[in-house]
Amino acid sequence: MLPIDALMQEHRLIERMISQMQKELALMGATNTVNTKFVASVVDFIWTYADRCHHGKEEGVLFKELAAKQISSEHAEMLRDLIDEHVYVRKTTANLAKTNESYIAGNNNVTKEIFGLMQALIEFYPMHAQKEDKKFFGPSMTYFTLQEQETMLDEFGKFDRKIIHEHYAKIVEELEKQANV
């Protein structure tokens, strides 16, 4: 397996989540109510898997390694665009989390905002994945030797192991805080 294969495989899981989001958004829209548990699952998935894990590997490994290479101006521009898109996801997901919490607290005025944020993520991810899959990942690998690509794949594995420990340490810490209140 090469680094691009691993990243593209992650895109397929993200696409499966987007499909579930589409179905749930249609149900929520039909009833004009928010399934707050589903929205919380979306936020967790995007923050933990799509952003921290997937985008984290791109930014912390692939993009970092590309920064040390002489890449074309076209690829440098696309790299900046991809980073900007990751920032967009973080902001949109943070807003979704915030509005979901507001809805849980009884503010039904944020229903349409939640629907809009969900729709924005649904529309964003297929375009983002296609850009990376078709226009960026393949060409970016030409800057690396096979050995460099294998090293990058090893770094991806280390990155994943670190993420799982961080994620569950945060869960335990939050539960400990709640128990001490």
pTM of structure: 0.90
Give the DSSP letter of residue 69. Answer: S
Contact 50, 89 (CB under 8 A): yes
Torsion angles phi and psi, residue 113, rounded to 5: -65, -40
Contact 60, 86 (CB under 8 A): no
- From the list 107, 82, 94, the residue with the least C-alpha distance to 47 is 94
- Domains of the chain, start order: 3-179 (1.20.120.520)
Which 3-state string (H, E, C) describes 133-168? HHHHHHHHHCCCCHHHHHHHHHHHHHHHHHHHHHHH
Tell me the pLDDT tens digit for each residue of 67-83. Answer: 999 999 999 999 999 99
Tell me the pLDDT tens digit for each residue of 39-96. Answer: 999 999 999 999 999 999 999 999 999 999 999 999 999 999 999 999 999 999 999 9
